[in-house]
Amino acid sequence: MLTLNSLNIRDQAMTIAGYFTLQWSDSRLDWSGNPTYSSDIPVIYTTQDYVWIPSLSVTNLVSDIAVISDNTVIIRVTNSGTLSWTPGAVYNTQCSTDVTYYPFDTQTCSVTLATWGYTSIEINLQAVEVDTSYYEPNGEWEYTGNRLDSSTRTSGSLSDSMPQASYILTFIRRPTYQVMNTIIPMILLGFLSCYVFQLPPDSGEKIGFSLTTLLAFAVYLTMVSADMPTTSIHTSVLSLYLIIVLAMGIMAVLMTIFVLRCHHSPEDKPIPNYLKKICKLAKKMFGIGCCCKRNTVLDLENDKMEKKGKIIDPVEAFEPELSWPEVTLILDKLFFKVYLSLMVTATTVVLLILVIHYYAQY
């Protein structure tokens, strides 16, 4: 293996440069028993036009599936009849990718070498380890190891099996680029969408701010989706996070519209009971206080209740009178705390899943 040119998870293909070192014995080319030539001519060189070569093929190529053949590469023949041949190429093979933990993902791809036309009776295919002595590291993927898988297959009308050997290569993505250019901007945009509830309603920028943030998120979602394979076998954790944050951004726009409608409601319009209950709930759960005023008719009510012989609770003597601007302020504070909590929770869970999986690979 010389280098990994590319590993395209969208097209589910791996492009790798390398060469096969093929060795076999041919008793017809053994001249070691001839004392005239065995000492003076230990090795000769030839091409595939003059000697027999095994009919082999890389069977999981994406295109140009054919028998390995290269007349420009010389074949080394020793006096014992052992032939060595090293045909090389750039192989574009199919690779089933798993994007569940993208961009902290690990991909396992294979290069499958099999006989073409010969059965296991004629050719005994024995595979050895992958040689990485001349391997040049890839900037996006880190090579971590390989394993061999030897098996047989049947083809067509042939009843005999054909041998094949799969070189299964494992690569781990180097996540620095994706973290700097994808994950961090998305997290910052996600938290930025929460701060739409910190803008005062009279500024006139709440809707514009929320829509701009939502549009930026939609653009990043498009960029991430462009790198994902069009398959439903695996679902990316990062894609789920983006959908959740996008849904929260849409809800933030709707909530902002609701807050603005409350803020610009007429003063004489009665405040619904559910808004009053929300204000009380916000006070209990988040410590968001409601502005209170003394009722101007409380004295008359107290006199009436005293005449009836009832005791007035001094706490109940003060009823909170809410105005629409006060309701708007409470709703903004409540929505900000809820959205910020949800964003922190979702971001923490996703990052923990990705980071734990990344370090578990090592």
- Helix-helix angle 324-360:273-286, to 10 degrees: 50
pLDDT tier at 320, thresholds 50, 70, 90: low
Task: Judge whether 10 and 62 are in contact, CB under 8 Å.
Answer: no
Q: Which residue has the higher pLDDT, 40 or 300?
A: 40
* Percent of residues, the chain, with pLDDT higher than 70: 86
Query: How much is the pLDDT for 349?
Result: 93
Q: b/e for 287-316, b at 16 or more Cβ within 10 A?
A: ebebeeeeeeeeeeeeeeeeeeeeeeeeee
**Over the chain, what is the mean pLDDT?**
82
pLDDT tier at 352, thresholds 50, 70, 90: very high
Query: How much is the pLDDT for 17?
Result: 94
Residue 91 — φ and ψ, nearest 5°? -105, 125
Q: Which residue has the higher pLDDT, 37 or 236?
A: 236
Whether the pLDDT of residue 223 is over 50: the answer is yes
Q: Which residue has the higher pLDDT, 222 or 319?
A: 222
Tell me the mean pLDDT in the region 73-94.
Answer: 92
pLDDT in tens, 263-305: 888 887 887 888 888 877 777 776 665 544 444 444 444 444 4
- What region does 116 belong to: left with phi over 0, alpha with psi -120 to 50, or beta? beta
* Percent of residues, the chain, with pLDDT higher than 90: 25
- Among 48-62, 123-137, 236-250, 276-290, whose mean pLDDT is lowest? 276-290
Task: Judge whether 333 and 288 are in contact, CB under 8 Å.
Answer: yes
DSSP letters along 193-214, please?
HHGGGGS-GGGS-HHHHHHHHH
Indicate the residue type of 242. Answer: L
The sign of the torsion formed by the CA atoms of 235, 239, 241, 245 equals: negative
- State the alpha helices, DSSP H only, in 27-119: none
pLDDT in tens, 6-35: 998 888 899 999 999 999 999 888 888 887
What would the two tokens of residue 75 be?
């074949």
Q: Which residue has the higher pLDDT, 88 or 226?
A: 88
All structural domains of the chain, each given as residue ranges with its CATH number in brackets, are 3-174 (2.70.170.10), 177-291+310-360 (1.20.58.390)
What would the two tokens of residue 160 be?
């005999």
Task: Judge whether 325 and 279 are in contact, CB under 8 Å.
Answer: no
Tell me the mean pLDDT in the region 310-333.
Answer: 65
pLDDT in tens, 163-188: 888 999 999 999 888 888 888 888 88
